[in-house]
Each structure stands twice: as structure tokens, then as C-alpha cells.
């Protein structure tokens, strides 16, 4: 949405950037709930930091709430500790784990079958530190319409 213009500020880049939306907003706008099958899963949803500041930050939670049978627990979580690729550096591993431990506790306390997050680096952190499978919201949606 913003970074392209920092690298190449042209009319074409600005035109594309103006049309970029988060995938959950795109799915929400075209979701037809008559075709949705139940998904009997208990899921704990971690909202990534970068999604919290985008337009319509609750779009993923709203889309997932439309899936019948899905028992969704939106977590009151903060950063998973990965912070983009910061947590991948060996020098940051201890602090990254410390930051992520709160999220791991929330996921564990939720009793969920799976953790769900929109962010690939959050998924890496949750998979590395946790003991539950991690899914992208689109994977749950595919189960409900696929």
C-alpha cells in the first residue's frame, strides 16, 4: 500500500497502490454465505501488528465469523515477537521468544485446535514456539467453500 512509492514513485505505482486491499477485505466483499459449509474447528485468531493499522483491521475476524461451525477466539494479543524478519536474527532470538511467550500462553489458554494468523512470519513464530497447527484465514475459508 505504501512501500512501492518509496522505491519507485510513478503514477502507475500510485494507481496500483490505491487499489491494494487486504485479502480478507476482498473476500468479505464477495462472500456469499449460502455456499458456506460448516467448519467444525476451534480456532484462536492472532491479528498481526501490520493488520491492526490497515483500513478495516477487523476484516479477517468478520469474515471468519461468517463461517458456520467455526468457534473463533480472537486473542487480545500484541506482537508475536517476530516483528517482520527481526526475530529471525540469532542475536534477537532470546528477546523474540520472550515477546512471543505471551501469545503462546493466550493460544494455549484458548483450548483451540489451531492457531490462525494472516501473517507468514507470525505463522513461523507460532509454529516454532507453539504446539498447535497454524493456519492462514484463507485456508479456513477454503474448507468452508471448497
- Provide φ and ψ at 133, rounded to 5°: -65, 155
For the chain, give percent helix, strand, coil, nearest 5.
55, 10, 35
Characterize the bridge pairing of strands 134-135 and 42-46: unpaired
Q: List, for residues 132-146, the tens digit of each pLDDT value.
A: 999 999 898 888 886
Evaluate if residue 102 carries a pLDDT over 80: yes
Q: What's the confidence (pLDDT) of residue 19?
A: 76
Query: In the Cβ-directed half-sphere of 97, how many Cα atoms lie within 13 Å?
Result: 8
Q: Could you tell me the pTM of the whole model?
A: 0.82
Residue 72 confidence class, pLDDT cut points 50, 70, 90: very high
Buried b / exposed e over 96-125, threshold 16 CB at 10 Å, is: beebbeebbebbeebebebbbbbbebbbbb
Mean pLDDT of 123-134: 95
What is the crossing angle of helices 23-30 and 137-145, to 10°? 20
Nine-digit cell at 2? 505504501
Nine-digit cell at 136? 492462514
Q: Which domains does the chain have, with CATH numbers?
A: 3-145 (3.40.50)
DSSP-derived 3-state class of residue 129: helix
Q: List, for residues 4-23, the tens digit of each pLDDT value.
A: 677 888 888 888 877 776 66
Q: Cβ neighbours of residue 108 under 8 Å, at least 6 residues apart?
A: 130, 131
Q: Is 75 exposed, middle or buried (0-12, 13-18, 19+ CB in 10 A)?
A: buried
Q: What's the confidence (pLDDT) of residue 89?
A: 94
Amino acid at each position: 500500500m505504501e512501500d512501492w512509492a518509496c522505491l519507485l514513485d510513478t503514477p502507475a505505482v500510485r494507481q496500483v497502490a490505491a487499489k491494494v486491499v487486504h485479502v480478507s477485505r476482498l473476500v468479505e466483499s464477495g462472500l456469499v454465505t449460502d455456499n458456506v459449509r460448516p467448519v467444525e474447528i476451534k480456532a484462536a485468531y492472532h491479528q498481526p501488528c501490520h493488520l491492526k493499522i490497515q483500513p478495516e483491521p477487523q476484516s479477517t475476524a468478520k469474515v471468519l465469523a461468517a463461517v458456520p461451525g467455526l468457534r473463533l477466539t480472537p486473542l487480545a494479543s500484541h506482537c508475536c515477537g517476530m516483528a517482520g524478519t527481526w526475530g529471525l536474527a540469532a542475536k534477537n532470538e532470546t528477546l523474540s521468544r520472550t515477546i512471543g511467550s505471551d501469545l503462546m500462553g493466550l493460544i494455549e489458554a484458548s483450548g483451540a485446535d489451531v492457531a490462525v494468523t494472516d501473517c507468514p512470519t507470525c505463522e513461523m513464530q507460532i509454529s516454532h514456539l507453539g504446539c498447535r497447527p497454524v493456519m492462514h484465514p484463507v485456508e479456513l475459508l477454503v474448507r468452508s467453500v471448497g
